[in-house]
Amino acid sequence: ALTRASRISSIGVSEILVIGETARRMRRAGKPVIVLGAGEPDFDTPDNVKEAAVRAIRDGRTKYTALDGTPEMKAAIIGKFRRENALDFEPAEIMATAGAKQVLFNAFMATMNPGDEALLAAPYWTTYADIAAIAGGTPVALAGREENGFRITAEDLEAAITPRTRWLLLNSPSNPSGAAYEAEHLKPILDVLLRHPHVWLMTDDIYEHLLYDGRTFATALNLQPGLRDRTLVINGVSKAYAMTGWRLGYCAGPASLIEAMSIVQSQATTNPSSISQAAAIEALTGPQDIVAQRRDDFQRRRDIVVERLNAMPGISCRKPEGAFYTFANCSGLLGRRTPEGAVLDSDSTYCRYLLEEANVAVVPGSCFGLAPYFRISYAAAQETLMEACDRISRANEALR
Ligand code: PLP
């Protein structure tokens, strides 16, 4: 029998994957399941980006590259930070990776010792906790309460910092809540960090371009340049350019940190795919109008889903500022019974009920460290979203 390494013993199969697998099984059995569980844009990668990749293949740019990214890739990333975030970085402060997920992996592996704590603002992307644990550290959830717009406050942070705190991770706009930290929310948090020089900051800015109602993105290092020597800025092309399958992420941080992360990457994946780098260069330096167009599409879908959810008795949904998720409160339905007589005692049972009764797959908030909520990914066609809301509504009405 296989003995698993202790470093993965605390990491179960994610409930999100179980829901996805169940949905696929139901589909194979002929059930018309609508899956609103996935964290990826339903759009296709733009044509100019695809063409750049084809050119790279034809030109023979198909070999190992510098492990932290080709000089052209780094130049494109530096240009992006200058243009969009008014931040200036040197090539030694930049690294390209196989997805933003690998930035997290490199960073935690390079810096966490047993007992070191990573503070996560809940609800959070589960990967943060799992990678911190794989790296031997201790993830510590800090609840971003609904009444605070699912954001943590400076007071929450101050109370949570211990001598073992190594990192604070912020993700704005957030997966799963869609909440964004604007300057007024972010600045007091950054000021707390300034007083605790042993705590480093990771900002996961991957949903930067999906901000609605005319909001502009608040860049942490602009608000508090004093944190520059201990901040890792994480980004990638997956969400902004519909490039999830290309596996290309990037980061900027102090050269000493990037160097340590390069050691990890060199023994994990070497360099990100040369072809994906060529595609990402085009994404970051080519025409950008598609980014705003798609953002506007997402905003329309958000409005539909939020309005529909709030019309359902027992459910309330805060209007998220960004990303492509709603995070609705279902506490008003807990305690009710399904037509079969089962009691809805948690967001997990409610989501299971929705999958079986309504054939709609959504993810319980407990998967992200905050209950009772459920996350809908609205990266789907408007008709699909309306149909899903109709079904959820009917399933709710069938409760006793
Ligand atoms: N960060 C957040 C908050 C995400 O939701 C995701 C993907 O779901 C990622 C990072 C990962 O992106 P990538 O495809 O670049 O690994």
β-strand pairing of 231-236 with 249-252: antiparallel
Contact between 359 and 366 (Cβ < 8 Å): no
Beta carbon of 99 within 6 Å of any ligand 1 atom: yes
How many angstroms does the Cα of residue 209 sit away from the middle of ligand 1? Answer: 14
**How large is the average pLDDT for residues 304-309?**
98
How many angstroms does the Cα of residue 314 sit away from the middle of ligand 1? Answer: 31
Residue from 95, 206, 368 to probe ligand 1 pocket by mutation (most atoms less than 8 Å from CB):
206
Q: What is the 8-class DSSP label of residue 337? A: B
Model ipTM?
0.99
Q: At 9, is the pLDDT very low, low, confident or very high (cuts 50, 70, 90)?
A: confident
Higher pLDDT, 186 or 6: 186
Beta carbon of 125 within 6 Å of any ligand 1 atom: yes
Beta carbon of 249 within 6 Å of any ligand 1 atom: yes
Residues of the chain with CATH 3.40.640.10: 60-285
| Residue 13 reports pLDDT greater than 80 | no
DSSP E strands in the chain: the ranges are 34-35, 94-97, 117-122, 138-143, 165-171, 200-204, 231-236, 249-252, 316-317, 325-329, 360-361, 363-364, 373-377
Interval 207-230: pLDDT, tens: 999 999 999 999 999 999 999 999
**How large is the average pLDDT for residues 270-295?**
96
Beta carbon of 176 within 6 Å of any ligand 1 atom: no
Bridge partners, residue 373, by sequence? 329
Contact between 297 and 74 (Cβ < 8 Å): no
Q: What's the pLDDT score for residue 390?
A: 98
Residue from 172, 174, 239 to probe ligand 1 pocket by mutation (most atoms less than 8 Å from CB):
239
Average pLDDT, the chain: 96
| Residue 313 reports pLDDT greater than 80 | yes
Q: How far is CA 387 from CA 360, 374, 397, in A?
A: 10, 18, 15
Interval 73-88: pLDDT, tens: 999 999 999 999 999 9
Beta carbon of 364 within 6 Å of any ligand 1 atom: no
Beta carbon of 375 within 6 Å of any ligand 1 atom: no
3-class DSSP state of 315: coil
Report residue 284 as tokens. Answer: 């970051």
Amino acid at 77: I
Interval 242-269: pLDDT, tens: 999 999 999 999 999 999 999 999 999 9
**What pTM does this model have?**
0.96
| Residue 8 reports pLDDT greater than 90 | no
Q: At 167, is the pLDDT very low, low, confident or very high (cuts 50, 70, 90)?
A: very high
Interval 317-346: pLDDT, tens: 999 999 999 999 999 999 999 999 999 999
Bridge partners, residue 173, by sequence? none
Q: What's the pLDDT score for residue 11?
A: 84
Amino acid at 288: Q
Q: What's the pLDDT score for residue 139?
A: 96
How many angstroms does the Cα of residue 238 sit away from the middle of ligand 1? Answer: 7
How many angstroms does the Cα of residue 324 sit away from the middle of ligand 1? Answer: 12
Contact between 218 and 183 (Cβ < 8 Å): yes
Beta carbon of 151 within 6 Å of any ligand 1 atom: no
Greatest alpha-carbon span in the chain: 64
Residue 288 main-chain phi, psi, to 5 deg:
-110, 0
Q: What's the pLDDT score for residue 60?
A: 98
Instruction: Please give the torsion angle defined by the CA atoms of residues 151, 154, 157 and 159, in that order, rounded to the nearest 10 degrees.
Output: -130
Q: How far is CA 80 from CA 38, 91, 223, 235, 319, in A?
A: 27, 13, 18, 11, 29
Beta carbon of 106 within 6 Å of any ligand 1 atom: no
Q: What's the pLDDT score for residue 14?
A: 76
**Which has the closest alpha carbon to 104: 10, 206, 14?**
206
Share of the chain above pLDDT 90, in %: 93
Beta carbon of 175 within 6 Å of any ligand 1 atom: yes
Interval 111-125: pLDDT, tens: 999 999 999 999 999
| Residue 17 reports pLDDT greater than 90 | no
Amino acid at 379: A
Which CATH number applies to 6-44+290-397?
3.90.1150.10
| Residue 20 reports pLDDT greater than 90 | no
Q: What's the pLDDT score for residue 122?
A: 94
Contact between 363 and 375 (Cβ < 8 Å): yes
Query: Atom 3 (ligand 1): residue with closest C-alpha?
Result: 175
Q: What's the pLDDT score for residue 170?
A: 98
Q: What is the 8-class DSSP label of residue 59? A: T
Contact between 82 and 59 (Cβ < 8 Å): no
Q: What is the second-level CATH architecture of the domain 60-285?
A: 3-Layer(aba) Sandwich (3.40)
3-class DSSP state of 361: strand
Q: What's the pLDDT score for residue 38?
A: 81
How many angstroms does the Cα of residue 119 sit away from the middle of ligand 1? Answer: 18
Residues of the chain with CATH 3.90.1150.10: 6-44+290-397
